[in-house]
Amino acid sequence: MKSHTEYLWFNTKREREFVNITDQAAEILRKSGIREGMMLVSAMHITAGVYVNDAEDGLIQDIQDWLERLAPRGDYRHHLTGETNGDAHLKNLLIGHQVILPITAGRFDLGPWQQLYYAEFDGRRRKRVIVKIIGE
């Protein structure tokens, strides 16, 4: 079995941003040479996440609105530490910090509309995502 690891770096211009990283992940897969296996994509920060869903602007806005309803900006006990991003931590828990993508015949084995996204909830600083592939 082979493995391949790379990192994607982000420094978003906005505090909240959703970035389609499907093509970047596919390029990492291509470079790995792995044809059958799994790709783990994991945000390495507790105020960001990754998810798989449709690349449709209305849906992305719906996701942002849903997250804001469930974890609105506001006062949190976390802010007693001097931080101001309590809602970003909760949004990470709602979206999740990692996904596993199946690889078949050297390509992602996803549904017809599925895309991979990096979700930033406390941006404007440098963060990273690990991409780890295992397989043959």
Task: Give 107's DSSP letter.
Answer: E
Q: What is the pLDDT of residues 68-113, one digit of tens each?
A: 999 999 999 999 999 999 999 999 999 999 999 999 999 999 999 9
pLDDT of amino acid 93 = 98
pLDDT of amino acid 56 = 97
Residue 85 burial (CB count, 10 A): 18
2 close to 32: Cβ distance less than 8 angstroms: yes
Phi-psi region of 65 (alpha: psi -120 to 50; beta: other; left: phi over 0): alpha
Which three-class secondary structure state does DSSP give residue 76?
coil
Global pTM?
A: 0.95
Domain residue extents for the chain: 2-74+82-135
Fold of 2-74+82-135: Jelly Rolls (2.60.120)
36 close to 136: Cβ distance less than 8 angstroms: yes
For the chain, the residue count is 136
- Tell me what the mean pLDDT of segment 21-34 comes to: 98
Q: How far apart are alpha carbons 29 and 83 in whole angstroms?
A: 37
Q: Return all residues near 103 (Cβ < 8 A) that are at least 6 apart.
A: 29, 34, 35, 36, 37, 38, 39, 109, 133, 135
